[in-house]
Structure 1
Amino acid sequence: MASHKLVHLLPIIVLITIPTGYVMASPPAIKAAYWPSWIETFPPSAIDTTLFTHIFYAFLLPSNVTFKFEVSDSTASQLKNFTGTLHQKNPPVKTLVSFGGGGSDPKLFARMVSNKGSRNIFIDSAIELARTYGFDGLDLDWEFPKNPEEMASLGQLFKEWRVAIKKEAKSTHRAPLLLTAAVYFSVDFQWNGIYRKYPVESIAESLDWVNAMCFDYRGSWDTSATGAHAALYDPNSNISTSYGLRSWVRAGVPRNMVVMGLPLYGRTWQLKDPKVNGIGAPATGVGPGDDGVLIFSEVEKFNKENGATVVYDAKTVSTYSYTGTSWIGYDDSQSTTVKLKFAQALGLRGYFFWALSYDSDWEISKQASRAWVIG
């Protein structure tokens, strides 16, 4: 997962018509979260599996030379502990291993997908890794393909990956591995003057679902004004969760293949004038936290210790707090619940969090699990 720079999105004009009387079967809801493998103080044994259906191991990378996965002894031990612990929990959850992440080099995946030979090496190694360490599925978090050519190659990867998964499952008489991808909040976008769009046809045919990263719309890359970094609505632009999720549906990805991303952290700014403290208020720099980021448990602690004023903003469906010149934009239980109701009304598959261990005593995770009503 990574910071999403301010972008201007082009309008999407593809419309999907569903025949009258057509009823789609409802697959099981997704209640997922990514587990940051580098946080040693939050082992898999600490995860409350009553709140989730799927947990993603974040992250692994293939060799940038061979495109195979070379797992060290310590990582192998961690992988086995991750799947073993979560499969033995009551209730057990499905486990997926995620490749990439916001901190990885996007050029690695660009090189890998550029020809069939390297794609096959990567695919075979990924499947072998998942089976060796007991994972139920595979997830690709490439942030982000930079042009139409890379998007087309990504589409080829997904198609070939699905074929390989089916073949492996048939030959081993095992359930097919799940295949998912973490994607930009919108199906198409323009960065640095280059328009690109995800390979919708390949995604619809090849993946089980996509995790739309509906956060980081605002952040430390723009310190001129405060912002709701995961706004459901934005009255001034199409950089919003509602726009992004609808764009995936309008482009042709089935609603039951779209999963909404939710942040368990906030972004912070320093106000120019403490008396001007709403969303969009003038700012002079980042606020408390590491590069202007506080995880949710830290937000709650900061608010309590500093007597901060907490405001729910219905216009954007977000929450913010301020005290003195410090300003934090984030999601709490209230804004999360409204977002989930929106996602359910849109007919989406479920939600995921970035990231496990950022919550405060499972506060938001519990509320989300209750709010996503089945049936």
Structure 2
Amino acid sequence: MGTPKFMPFLIFVIFLTTLLQNSEANQFPSVHPPHKGIRAAYWPSFNTFPASSIDTSYFTHIYYAFLLPEPTTYKLNLTQFDQKTIPQFIGALRTRNPPVKTLLSIGGGGTNATVFSLMASTQLTRKAFISSSIEVARKFGFQGLDLDWEFPADAVDMSNLALLYKEWRKALDNEARISGKPRLLLTSAVYYASKFTFYGGPRAYPAWAISKYLDWASPMCFDYHGSWENFTGLHAALYDSKSNISTSYGIGSWIQAGVPPNKLVMGLPLYGRTWTLQNPIVNRVGVPALGVGPGDGVLVFHQIVNFNKRTNATVVFDSKAVAYYSYSGSSWIGYDDVRSVNLKVRFAKSLGLGGYFFWALGQDKDWTISSQASNAWKY
């Protein structure tokens, strides 16, 4: 994964401080201001964790993940599963106290990015997609729409993405005016950094369009490292002194690109990445590994807690990176726990970000991390 030239941490702090002193964040007021902050999470409909079990006291917004556009008409594909599951999801959350807003997320990491590229390529196909998304959201009672296009492949895709945001927001404004209902929220999950190079040439997100048309963008600040690499790594490090692959760099790049901090909602993982160590005695960050570890390369947080206890694993808090890792025998896991999440949320709050989100509900351990993050944000 290619990244822009490394910015030393001191310079990073200076430019963030300068940016936060400017009035840039007030140039694009949101119709839906964050107010006390966004504490969001994605609910994967394909998992077994029931929506009725969500403790809404820790969240303000819940995403239904995911629907996909049909590859020919670009209208949302409502499978029989979704037609059954969405009403259950909405019904389970509609009367909860405290209340949460629900958003329909479209896309996801396992989808065919070419379909989104083709959909966004013409005004006609964008219109079909937009109209269908609004129709489905209103039919089931969602309060917002979220795009998770992973990832626009080149400068043309990014240009078309800007047009999609613009036309989508205009359609949402018009629909709200005609229906007399509150406008649907419009959000978008994006790469952790505003510019990147992988699977193609250099490209940058349309920061101006994000600032003007979205209620917020959600940088996915995780999956920096994984078992596709032959060395151990912290997949959601807040800082990395040796590279730009870190949350602090990514969030800084978005602010530097011109997106107001209050329109950024920082992603946090409720899962870890695992490896098999080449030498169990050599067990630090960045040491040689042979491939996937427990869980075929991924363990969710409650599994990590159980693994650490069951194997009497050594648990290490990396204070420089602000992340955890544990190891037992040849098994190695990089992840977040209460302390690192607390510090990350406070980092987001100190920069004036709009909030944070988790991937994903059902992965926590008795709401341990969710409650800690919520308390850190509110207090």
Q: TM-score, normalised by structure 1?
A: 0.94
By how many angstroms is 1:90 displaced?
1.2
The worse-fitting range, judged by mean Cα deviation, of 6-15 and 41-50 is: 6-15
Q: Residues 85-109 of structure 1: CA distance to partner in whole angstroms, max 9, x if unpaired?
A: 2121111210000000000000000
What is the 5 A alignment of 1:19-30?
A: 27-28=34-35, 29-30=37-38
Corresponding position: 1:233 with 2:243 = no
| 8 Å contact kept, 1:272–1:282 | yes
Q: Secondary structure at the match of 2:63?
A: strand
| 8 Å contact kept, 1:10–1:188 | no
For 1:38, give the aligned amino acid: F
1:293 corresponds to which of 291, 298, 308: 298
Q: Secondary structure at the match of 1:61?
A: strand
Partner of 2:368: 363
Q: Using the alignment, how far apart are the partners of 1:304 and 1:72 within structure 2?
A: 40
Task: Let me know the Cα RMSD of the aligned residues.
Answer: 2.0
Partner of 1:33: 41
What is the 5 A alignment of 1:236-251?
A: 236-251=242-257
For 1:306, give the aligned amino acid: T
Corresponding position: 1:282 with 2:288 = yes
Partner of 1:161: 168
Partner of 1:64: 71
Q: Secondary structure at the match of 2:103?
A: strand
What is the 5 A alignment of 1:325-364?
A: 325-364=330-369
Q: TM-score, normalised by structure 2?
A: 0.93
| 8 Å contact kept, 1:141–1:183 | yes
Partner of 1:3: none
* Unaligned segments of structure 1, at least 5 residues: 1-5
Partner of 1:98: 105
Q: Using the alignment, how far apart are the partners of 2:79 and 2:111 within structure 1?
A: 18
Corresponding position: 1:261 with 2:267 = yes
Partner of 1:314: 319
| 8 Å contact kept, 1:7–1:239 | no
Closer, same or farther in 2 for the Cα pair 1:124/1:326, shift >3 Å? same
By how many angstroms is 1:192 displaced?
4.0
Q: Residues 312-341 of structure 1: CA distance to partner in whole angstroms, max 9, x if unpaired?
A: 000111000011111100000011111111
| 8 Å contact kept, 2:6–2:243 | no
Corresponding position: 1:8 with 2:16 = no
Partner of 1:50: 57
Q: Residues 13-61 of structure 1: CA distance to partner in whole angstroms, max 9, x if unpaired?
A: 999867778995873200000001011x311100000000000000000
The worse-fitting range, judged by mean Cα deviation, of 68-77 and 179-188 is: 68-77
* Unaligned segments of structure 2, at least 5 residues: none
Q: Secondary structure at the match of 2:74?
A: coil
Q: Using the alignment, how far apart are the partners of 1:331 and 1:72 within structure 2?
A: 35
Q: Using the alignment, how far apart are the partners of 1:193 and 1:157 within structure 2?
A: 21
Q: Using the alignment, how far apart are the partners of 1:153 and 1:38 within structure 2?
A: 30
By how many angstroms is 1:283 displaced?
1.3
| 8 Å contact kept, 2:24–2:260 | no
| 8 Å contact kept, 2:228–2:291 | no
| 8 Å contact kept, 2:20–2:351 | no
Q: Using the alignment, how far apart are the partners of 1:11 and 1:65 within structure 2?
A: 42
Q: Using the alignment, how far apart are the partners of 1:111 and 1:21 within structure 2?
A: 37
**Identity percentage over the alignment?**
53
Q: Using the alignment, how far apart are the partners of 1:254 and 1:294 within structure 2?
A: 34
By how many angstroms is 1:270 displaced?
1.1
What is the 5 A alignment of 1:133-212?
A: 133-192=140-199, 194-212=201-219
Q: Using the alignment, how far apart are the partners of 1:287 and 1:165 within structure 2?
A: 45
